[in-house]
Structure 1
Amino acid sequence: ITHLARTLADARGAQHALARQLITVQEDERRVLARELHDEMGQTLTALNVTATHLARHANMLTRDAVAECATDLRREIRTCGEQLRAMLKTLRPHGLHAAGLAQTLRELVLGWRARHTDIDFELDLPMQLPDVGELLSLTVYRVVQEAVTNVVRHSGASLCVVRLAVRTGGLVLEVRDDGRGLPEEGATWHG
């Protein structure tokens, strides 16, 4: 009975630690989203407002060419706003994961990083056929790759990052490797 009580207490402690960790992750995501909304969308919306205000104040004095130029500016800013919104939504929930599948969604993720960081060579190694692993596991694999690649970009100083997903008996094996500097000695262990 004592052993069972200890096991139960350990399990409850682990459950509480996981709950705290989940809250921390959610708050981190909210903080990043709030910063992106403020920094990126805020600037774009301000530019839209400035152009619209200019049009409203000077409508009767503007030439056709000036109005056309303002309209072009508005369209460009609206397009930028849409691109920023799509990028943020993709961060929150990868579009097409359920429809296109895990392989295609991982390809799009890696292509996105290739487009943003030309100083890191990103490689993606996927099997010809992935089994249907369900939405929850697909989302989990996607999030792990997303976080790992983000850490490579932010912290590793790498010139190469390889994302490899393989099918093994009983499931999938995911590997994200880079040629960066790695963890410092004091940070080499994880306590979860």
Structure 2
Amino acid sequence: MTTTTIEPAMTMAEILERIPSAQRALFQRYHVGGCSSCAFQPTDTLEQVCKEHNILDVNEVVQYLERAGEVDAKMTVEPTVVKGWLDAGETLRFIDVREPHEIQLGRVPEAEPMDYTNSQSYMELPKDTKLVFLCKDGARSLDVGAYFVGHKFTNVSSVKGGVDAWRAQVDPTVPAYDIED
């Protein structure tokens, strides 16, 4: 496995360019960068971020960020595995985090749309609730999963490849669609 070298004096923008999953990893482990109360600026150095958030060992953070891809890999799950859990009747919340207009374009019947109008209700779930997040391609659901892990949820997954993979591997009747960024 190849590691990406980062230094404490690098800006967060430089780190995120080298390690796209770094922000998720920071939030999961240190509760930094995932919400407005723990945000950082792209021009802040990693040293500054650690100091501002009372993280004493910046070298530990560097080592952790260099393994950030492993953190994402642990959270991702294949669509066929999720389908197996559903078919076996496992207790879980399968949550579609796409915007309502996207869900209308290609609904996954097994997944509940995330209720953004009452998003705090999810934080009230038991911290060991099995949460499986789904989005268009697997990126947003990783972000949402990291947010929940950062809030001490212990059983969080993101569907690898999102709805696109779900359609290809589980249910070809889910309509394909494109969205503009």
The TM-score bracket by the shorter chain reads under 0.3
* Structure of greater relative contact order (alpha carbons < 8 Å, 6+ residues apart): 2
The structure with the largest alpha-carbon Rg is 1
Q: TM-score scaled to structure 1, two decimals? A: 0.24
Q: TM-score scaled to structure 2, two decimals? A: 0.25
